[in-house]
Structure 1
Amino acid sequence: MQNQESEQVVRHPFGKFTYLLCSILTLLVGTAFMGSSRVSVMLFCLLFSTVLLTAVVSVCHRHKTLGIGLTLVVLMLILNVSSFLTRSYSLTVLHNSLVIIFLAFVFYHILSAVFHDDRVTLDTIIGTVSLYLLAGLLWSYLYSTILLVDPAAFRYDLVNAASEAVTLRNSDLQPLIYLSFVTMATLGYGDIVPVSGPAQTACYLQAVFGQFYFAILVSRLVAMYISAATHKNQQHAQGS
């Protein structure tokens, strides 16, 4: 019996959210070194597709949800390639909207899995971190969509090496990802400033979300860990 349990541990050394977290971190780190060339865009699409596929595998355990997840991924990939080749405004808006819906779909399923855990495990912690990073990506695409509708929605106070002002575009996902996580962490550096009403609303909603995320979810994990540790100590005391 012990040999079977040890074999099972070896076969499943990682939790169900580990590969998702690794793919998200690879995307975020890789984006920092990408430019605006076609090769960089293709590399970003490849890394983001990896995130989408690992997200489907991580959260979709039933046949129905797996089919929905895979359908959304295929549609997003088709729209991404089509909008990249045709430079179509409507296809880009549709692609971004579908990405936001998909990330919300994945977020809901991971959140349900985390809340249904009756004890804190490494997989629970990894799922909680993945949730936070997915929320940052979700708002990045929301900001990109806002820029598509209103190119002057954000003011980008940045000057390049040639002393020229840099304009923030919806295709510049690296600054938008940066804006997303800076806003969610309520750092407020002020180099990218929301100007329009929708942009300001999206920013303060993300800031509120970031505060409530740590106040509710992380505090719940701490309470679960303390409760489990207390219960274990009580059992140990009764046994001795």
Structure 2
Amino acid sequence: MSGSELLRKGERLHSRIQKRKYLILTLPLVLLLILYPLFEGSFAGTIFLKLLSTATLITAVYAVSDRRRPLCIALILAVPAIGTGWAILVYTSAGFVLAQSVSSMLLYAFTTVMIIRSIIRGRLTDDMIFGAISVYLLMGITWATAYMAIEGSEISAFVINHGNGPENLPAFSDFLYFSFITLTTVGYGDITPLTAAARSLAYLEAVSGTLFMAVFIARLIGALASHQEDTGDKN
């Protein structure tokens, strides 16, 4: 097989994967949310979660790889996020934890904004539905990393009744839980933000979750109405 044939096959494969890029992003996000509380704590579990987190960050980069500039920005954010994430296994310092939280938060937030922009401007497809799902999951994970950064920079920014960390200290799974409870505006009250920064993040997340649902539903209804009009014109 010649090099040109291999190149053409690679381009066709890339084109097919690009059409399912949001589905590819959604899968590790769902696994991360399901498995993080179960594997957090043990060393083997931590290694597995680091691999899964790395896969999530890589798929986040790939989700915005259709244009050069967003891809470059995502790569710049992904390198420190992945590097500091693995460095924490060797150097468990507060600085590395804070750097990993901030860099991951920026990458997730950037990916979220790019996907929302694609959903609003693009044609509604099956993969766009997965894009909307991934945006909602990314929002929860982005705010969770922000809470982790706040907790790392401010002592006792949250009151947590029973933390999943050693000696009932807060762990990332606690902030994942709090983030999605806040995003869905359920608010059980077992985790309470104390500082001004933590409280500001909490209510901003609640507002962003509500706004996203309103915008996405409006976009979906508009796309369905447009599709019905096009179908009626053809008939």
Q: Are 2:32 and 2:52, in contact at CA under 8 Å, matched by a contact in 1?
A: yes
Distance 2:55 2:156 in 1: 32
The residue number in structure 2 matching 1:233 is 232
Match of 2:77 among 69, 72, 83: 72
Distance 1:208 1:67 in 2: 30
Match of 1:150 among 147, 154, 159: 154
Question: TM-score when scaled to structure 1?
Answer: 0.84
Question: TM-score when scaled to structure 2?
Answer: 0.85
CA RMSD, 1 decimal: 2.3
The alignment partner of 1:193 has SS state of strand
The residue number in structure 1 matching 2:104 is 99
Q: Are 2:57 and 2:82, in contact at CA under 8 Å, matched by a contact in 1?
A: no
The residue number in structure 2 matching 1:202 is 201
Deviations along 1:177-231, one digit per CA (max 9) or x if unpaired, are 1110110000011111112211111111100111111111222212211221133
Q: Are 1:154 and 1:168, in contact at CA under 8 Å, matched by a contact in 2?
A: no
Distance 1:159 1:235 in 2: 59
The alignment partner of 1:87 has SS state of coil
Distance 1:53 1:220 in 2: 28
The alignment partner of 2:159 has SS state of strand
Alignment coverage as a number of residue pairs: 221
The residue number in structure 1 matching 2:5 is none
How far has the Cα of 1:127 moved from its partner? 0.5
Matched, 1:52 2:61: no
Q: Are 1:83 and 1:89, in contact at CA under 8 Å, matched by a contact in 2?
A: no
The alignment partner of 2:39 has SS state of coil
Q: Tell which structure's C-alpha radius of gyration is larger.
A: 1
Matched, 1:126 2:130: yes
Letter in 2 for 1:139: W
Letter in 2 for 1:125: I
Q: Which stretch has the larger CA shift, 201-210 or 214-223?
A: 214-223
Structure 2 counterparts to residues 9-48 of structure 1, below 5 A? 12=16, 15-48=20-53
Q: Which runs of 5+ in 2 are unaligned?
A: 1-11
Cα distance change, pair 92–128 in 1 and its aligned pair in 2 (3 A) = same
Cα distance change, pair 159–122 in 1 and its aligned pair in 2 (3 A) = closer
Distance 1:52 1:224 in 2: 30
Q: Structure 1 residue runs of 4+, over 6 Å off?
A: none
Cα distance change, pair 202–158 in 1 and its aligned pair in 2 (3 A) = same
Distance 2:82 2:140 in 1: 20
Distance 2:74 2:163 in 1: 41
The residue number in structure 2 matching 1:189 is 188
The residue number in structure 1 matching 2:114 is 109
The residue number in structure 1 matching 2:218 is 219
The alignment partner of 2:88 has SS state of helix
Distance 1:43 1:50 in 2: 11
Deviations along 1:64-109, one digit per CA (max 9) or x if unpaired, are 4333323332222221222331122122212211111111221122
Distance 1:68 1:224 in 2: 30
Q: Are 1:155 and 1:168, in contact at CA under 8 Å, matched by a contact in 2?
A: no
The residue number in structure 2 matching 1:163 is none
Distance 1:63 1:216 in 2: 27
Distance 1:202 1:100 in 2: 13
Cα distance change, pair 205–168 in 1 and its aligned pair in 2 (3 A) = farther
Cα distance change, pair 159–168 in 1 and its aligned pair in 2 (3 A) = closer
Q: Which stretch has the larger CA shift, 88-97 or 13-22?
A: 13-22
